[in-house]
Amino acid sequence: MPANPAPVSRVTMMDVARRAGVSQPLVSLVIGGNPRARVADATRERILEAARELGYRPNVIARSLVRGRAYAIGLIIPDLSNPFFADVVRGAEKVAADQGYAVLFCDAADLGAEHHLEALRARQVDGVIMDAMGAASLEQGALAGLNVVLIDEPVAAFHGVASDAVEAGRLAARHLLELGHRRFGFMGPASDVWAFRMRERGFVQQLRSAGIALESDQLRRSAATVDGGRAAMRTLLALEPRPSAVFCANDLMAVGALKACARGGVRVPDDVSVMGCDDIEAARFITPELTTITIPARELGARAARMLFRLLNGEHARSTRPLAVTLAARGTTARAPA
C-alpha cells in the first residue's frame, strides 16, 4: 500500500534563497521572471540553479493572496451528461489552460448554480463562465460583483457569447420547407432557457412567413432529453393529420423522437422527417444519420473564455455577434411524402 499524505511542496523561496546565499525577495525577482529585473547574471544563475537542485515550485496560492488574483476561473454548466456541454467545457478548458488558468468545474445538475457560485466566490476566482443557467432567474445578487461571461443567454447586464439560435430555427424551417413539407411539429422544453426559446421562435417565424401557422397541438413541451423526445413524438404521431416533419429543440430529443418512430412503425425519413439541433457527435452514430443544425459548442466555450480573459485584463470586451450555425443535412430528412 502506498504511503500516506505528503505535503505537496515543501521547498519555499526561503530555502532557495538560503541555498543560493541571497535574500528571499531576490529569489522572487528572479523566479518571477520579471523581465525588467536587473539582477547580476552570476546571482541569477546561482539562484536558478539552487531552485533547480531543490526542485522548487512556485506556490500559486501565496502568490494569489498577495496579488489578489486567483488565476482561476469557474465554469458552471447545467449537465455534463449532455455531450453538447462537454464540448463547451473542452473549449473553455483549452483556452484557460493555455493561459495558465485553472478551471474550477461545476456541474449544476446536482447542487445548483447558486451553491457553486458561493463556493467560487469563496475561492476568489477571477471570473465565472455560465452556460444556459437561467442567469436571469438566479437569486438577486448571486452574480453581483463577479466577472461573468454568459453563454447562450444574452442578458444586458452581463457579457456573453451566444450562438445564432433564431437562425438555427430558421434554417431548420427553411430546409424542411424546401423539401416540400407543409405540416410541421416542434418539440422543446418548457423551461425558459434562451437558446431553446429562440430556436423555436426562429422556426415558427420562418414557417409563418411561408404562410404556415403552427397550432398549439403541433407544439409539444417536454424535457430536453431522449425520454422527453420520445414522449413528445408519440403525441405528435397521434395527431390527425400527422405532421410530415418535426423539428426538435436539441439532438437528444431528436434521438428520442426517432425511437418513438421506430417503435410506432413510422419510417424516417420516408414517412416523417426529423431534425435535431446541436450536432453532437452521436448525431452521426445513428442510422440514418441525424439531420441537424450544427452549433459550434467548443467555439462557444473557447470564446467565452477568451472574452473573460480580455475582461480580466481590463481590455474592452466587445461583445461579438452571434456565432454562425449551419445546416447539416443528413439522413433523417427527405422530401415530403405525396
Which among a copy of itself, DNA, none contacts residue 107 (Cβ within 5 to 8 A by kind)? a copy of itself
Between 118 and 178, whose beta carbon lies closer to a copy of itself? 118
User: Most distant CA pair in the chain: distance in Å?
Assistant: 89
Question: Contact between 44 and DNA (CB under 7 A)?
Answer: yes
**Whole-angstrom distance, CA of residue 207 vs CA of residue 199:** 12
Name residue 326's beta-bridge partners: 294
Binds 43, which of DNA, a copy of itself, none (CB < 5 to 8 A, cut-off by type)? DNA
Task: Give CA–CA dist 322/328, Å, rounded.
Answer: 18
Among DNA, a copy of itself, none, residue 40 binds (CB under 5-8 Å by kind): DNA
Q: Is 73 in the site for DNA (CB under 7 A)?
A: no
72/92 with CB nearer DNA: 72
Beta-bridge partners for 36: none
Nearest to 22, CA basis, from 50, 53, 60, 61: 50
| Smallest distance from DNA to CB 309, Å | 18
Site stretch for DNA (CB under 7 A), options 64-72, 140-148, 243-251, 301-309: 64-72
CB-wise, 64 or 218, nearer to DNA? 64
Q: Is residue 52 near DNA by the rule CB under 7 A?
A: no
Q: Does 26 bind DNA (CB under 7 A)?
A: yes
Of the pair 167, 251, the CB lying nearest a copy of itself is at: 251
Q: Should residue 13 be labelled a site residue for DNA when binding is judged by CB under 7 A?
A: yes
The one segment of 17-25, 141-149, 214-222, 266-274 that binds DNA by CB under 7 A: 17-25
Stretch that binds DNA, among 36-44, 73-81, 105-113, 126-134 (CB under 7 A): 36-44
According to the 3-state scheme, what is the secondary structure of 21-89?
CCCHHHHHHHHCCCCCCCCCHHHHHHHHHHHHHHCCCCCHHHHHHHHCCCCEEEEEECCCCCHHHHHHH
Out of 52, 53, 65, 238, point to the residue binding DNA (CB under 7 A).
65
* Cβ 304 to DNA shortest distance, Å: 27
- Please check whether residue 302 is in contact with residue 94, taking contact to mean a CB–CB distance below 8 angstroms: yes
Q: How far apart are the first and last CA of the chain?
A: 71
Residue 62 interacts with DNA (CB under 7 A)? yes
Beta strands in the chain (DSSP E): 72-77, 102-107, 127-131, 148-151, 159-161, 184-188, 219-221, 245-248, 273-275, 292-294, 326-328
Query: The cell 430555427 sits on which residue?
Result: 169
| In the complex, least distance from residue 57 CB atom to a copy of itself, rounded to whole angstroms | 6
Spatial CA neighbour of 243 closest among 268, 211, 280, 226: 268
As measured in angstroms, the least distance from the Cβ of 213 to a copy of itself is 33
Q: How far is the CB of 121 from a copy of itself (least distance, A)?
A: 6
**What are the residues binding DNA (CB under 7 A)?**
9, 12-14, 21-26, 28-29, 31-32, 34, 38-40, 42-44, 56-59, 62-63, 65-68
